[in-house]
A and B are shown apart, each in its own frame.
Chain A
């Protein structure tokens, strides 16, 4: 039982982080804190993918030593690496090892590079909106913002009812 838990330590950590992030994103009233929670949530997903890519004994996915020479004919610097790019992709996909050395799977790393960019962009847009909210409402607490909106909406509704009554009093044509 203990072994079962410890073996999957990374996943427990990821689940914990994910839930903490999700909880902050939902429960915090401060909009900045909610964005921080969102960032935590996204980071835990990045960790999830990265831990998927780990292979026991694998090194960084850059061909070296025997792999550079064997299998690709010419070992001429750049060209061999360009070729090897195809080789790594194939190997990562089929899971078969024509390669001599063990490499960890590079694909999740590449995917997460994209996800990081998306996360940064989301955070930038979110913070920009929060800055605008601060300017328009004078607060970054979402419950205070909600209260202000509610009072505006109530005032509008009262106007609405008044106008409707006035209109029906005048008699619809």
Chain B
């Protein structure tokens, strides 16, 4: 199917796919901002994300056309790297791009009723424009091959995100402190990243990531490189909500407009993790990262701490969105645990879990957006009896929740199984127990919600059979069924993750 769609795109356009993917939302964002009517802006955002999705599919098919994965390099302005800015797409990039554009497309399709309910009419066009800028920034991070350009795209998406989170204030004023905290933390994170890149530039005199990888190997043992490494790790760790640096996340997710929560939960932290993986494995290289500075003793404990501590915190929340936000931090822990193994199987499991997590959290938050639309509240009490009043919405929610727990035949099971497998392979059987324990905690916190939804009496029975509108239900069920599809027949998605992990271990210095 991928090749079919890719073959429909004329080759004169397919050549420019890397830039068109970023360009479509970039150009349509100011156009959307100028629209007097929010509905037109919404249609434009569907057009932009749809174009990006097609381009991502084209890129994926181009990368997979060669055995072992091709590397597509696109030179902006015709300036050859390393002097010019390069867009560089390999198996890992194309996987992340497919994730962002796929979720972004579904998000922009479903968002309209939710936006109408939560955003004032005068602001809707600007809101959609900000969403497109955020989307464009994330796509840019995932496609650029230039370290400083990565920072610029990261900040573009983050700036749009702060605005989008703050716009949740029309529903709950607590969105504002959440947004300013996110802004302070996010900016400090990005600034740390820039300092790190500055150190690398001072040592090597280049900003191109592939070129950096080559030159850093010649540099050898150098204090400035170590300092740069630490700055970059902490900076991206803040953006990725790595365990002790995650304090901005729960409030930002809980109080932003529900459509934005869905989009951010499924993409934003994933992109930061991508950037981290790219720097750890490609730029610094495996030897430097894992033997030179024993990263394994930093990344792994943090992942495990996140899995346990944040799962506990999730179990004690009374607000469903906060529960899921803490669960997101815990799931980031799974990904970091997989990545910290530094074996092909481990990284592949981490990336696989990242894709699956986008599917589950996308579906969960989308269902919550539908619930907010008709029932307003998101506390555990507001969920009582929803399984009976809104069976279609809540069934999809339940499927995604089971997937989050890791029940067999769902996506979550597949990736946790891959993770456990990789842990055994590396001889870390004790970590398997931690994964099991954290999954048990997931049973607790998701079980509370499911119990309230399916086994309690509805709180206001006169509102019975009030489903989310069809425009929400269809993308929601696509995501829910994708969870089952990956769980039953996960070859395609795990293949993506495997290719991506393999491309990292061939060595970035190709």
Q: Do chains A and B touch in the complex (CB under 8 A)?
A: yes
Interface on A for B, CB 8 Å cutoff?
Answer: 22, 25, 31, 34-35, 38, 41-42, 45, 48-49, 52, 89-90, 92-93, 95, 107-108, 111, 114-115, 118, 121-122, 125-126, 128-130, 132-133, 136-137, 142, 145-146, 149, 152, 156-157, 160, 163-164, 167, 170, 172-173
Residues of B within 8 A of A173 (CB): 455-457
Q: How far is the CA of A133 from the CA of B179 in the complex (A)?
A: 10
Among the listed A34, A108, A137, which residue makes an inter-chain contact with B173, where contact means beta carbons less than 8 Å apart? A137
Q: How far is the CB of A101 from chain B (nearest CB, A)?
A: 20
Q: Are B183 and A122 in contact (CB under 8 A)?
A: yes
Question: Given A49-B198, A173-B456, is A160 in contact with B379 using a C-beta cutoff of 8 Å?
Answer: yes
Q: Are A129 and B180 in contact (CB under 8 A)?
A: yes
Among the listed A22, A126, A160, which residue makes an inter-chain contact with B180, where contact means beta carbons less than 8 Å apart? A126
Q: How far is the CB of B190 from chain A (nearest CB, A)?
A: 8
The verdict on B37 contacting chain A, using a C-beta distance below 8 Å, is no
Q: Which residue of chain A lies nearest to B172 when distances are taken between CB atoms in the complex? A: A152
Among the listed B162, B169, B384, which residue makes an inter-chain contact with A136, where contact means beta carbons less than 8 Å apart? B169
Complex interface: stretch among B15-23, B53-61, B200-208, B477-485: B200-208
Residues of A within 8 A of B83 (CB): 89-90, 93
Among the listed A25, A52, A118, A152, which residue makes an inter-chain contact with B188, where contact means beta carbons less than 8 Å apart? A25
Q: Are B191 and A45 in contact (CB under 8 A)?
A: yes
Q: Are B201 and A52 in contact (CB under 8 A)?
A: yes
Residues of B within 8 A of A35 (CB): 184
Q: How far is the CB of B500 from chain A (nearest CB, A)?
A: 29
Q: Are B318 and A129 in contact (CB under 8 A)?
A: no
Residues of A within 8 A of B173 (CB): 136-137
Chain B interface bracket (under 10, 10 to 19, 20 to 34, 35 or more): 35 or more
Q: How far is the CB of B123 from chain A (nearest CB, A)?
A: 12
List the 8 closest A-B pairs by CB distance, nearest first: A136-B173, A89-B83, A133-B176, A118-B155, A129-B180, A173-B457, A163-B381, A129-B166
Q: Are A172 and B191 in contact (CB under 8 A)?
A: no
Sample of 19 more A-B contacts, CB < 8 Å, known A45-B194, A133-B176, A160-B380: A35-B184, A38-B188, A41-B188, A41-B191, A89-B79, A90-B83, A93-B83, A95-B205, A108-B198, A111-B148, A122-B187, A125-B183, A126-B183, A128-B166, A129-B162, A129-B183, A132-B176, A167-B384, A173-B456
Interface on B for A, CB 8 Å cutoff?
Answer: 79, 82-83, 148, 152, 155, 159, 162-163, 166, 169, 173-174, 176-177, 179-180, 183-184, 187-188, 190-191, 194-195, 198, 201-202, 205-207, 318, 379-381, 384, 455-457
Q: Which secondary structure characterizes the binding site on chain A?
A: helix
Q: How far is the CA of A42 from the CA of B183 in the complex (A)?
A: 13
Among the listed A22, A48, A93, which residue makes an inter-chain contact with B82, where contact means beta carbons less than 8 Å apart? A93
Q: How far is the CB of A55 from chain B (nearest CB, A)?
A: 12
Q: Are A157 and B201 in contact (CB under 8 A)?
A: no
Q: Are A38 and B187 in contact (CB under 8 A)?
A: yes
Among the listed B187, B202, B456, which residue makes an inter-chain contact with A52, where contact means beta carbons less than 8 Å apart? B202
Q: How far is the CA of A115 from the CA of B456 in the complex (A)?
A: 54
- 26 A-B residue pairings within 8 Å (CB atoms): A34-B184, A45-B194, A45-B195, A52-B201, A89-B79, A89-B83, A93-B82, A93-B83, A93-B205, A108-B198, A114-B152, A118-B152, A126-B187, A129-B179, A129-B180, A130-B180, A132-B176, A133-B176, A152-B174, A156-B318, A157-B318, A160-B381, A167-B457, A170-B457, A172-B455, A173-B456
Among the listed B159, B198, B206, which residue makes an inter-chain contact with A48, where contact means beta carbons less than 8 Å apart? B198
Q: Are B159 and A122 in contact (CB under 8 A)?
A: yes
Q: How far is the CA of A142 from the CA of B83 in the complex (A)?
A: 45
Q: How far is the CA of A35 from the CA of B188 in the complex (A)?
A: 11
Q: Find the residue from B155, B183, B191, B381 having the highest chain A CB count within 10 A.
A: B191
Question: Given A93-B206, A172-B457, is A42 in contact with B176 using a C-beta cutoff of 8 Å?
Answer: no
Among the listed B180, B207, B379, which residue makes an inter-chain contact with A133, where contact means beta carbons less than 8 Å apart? B180
Question: Given A132-B169, A160-B318, A167-B381, is A172 in contact with B187 using a C-beta cutoff of 8 Å?
Answer: no
Residues of A within 8 A of B202 (CB): 52
Q: Are A38 and B166 in contact (CB under 8 A)?
A: no
Q: How far is the CB of B319 from chain A (nearest CB, A)?
A: 8
Residues of A within 8 A of B159 (CB): 118, 121-122, 125
Residues of A within 8 A of B188 (CB): 22, 25, 38, 41
Q: Are A129 and B155 in contact (CB under 8 A)?
A: no
Q: How far is the CA of A172 from the CA of B188 in the complex (A)?
A: 48
Residues of A within 8 A of B180 (CB): 31, 126, 129-130, 133, 142
Q: Find the residue from B148, B159, B176, B384 having the highest chain A CB count within 10 A.
A: B176
Q: How far is the CA of A34 from the CA of B191 in the complex (A)?
A: 15
Residues of A within 8 A of B176 (CB): 129, 132-133, 136-137
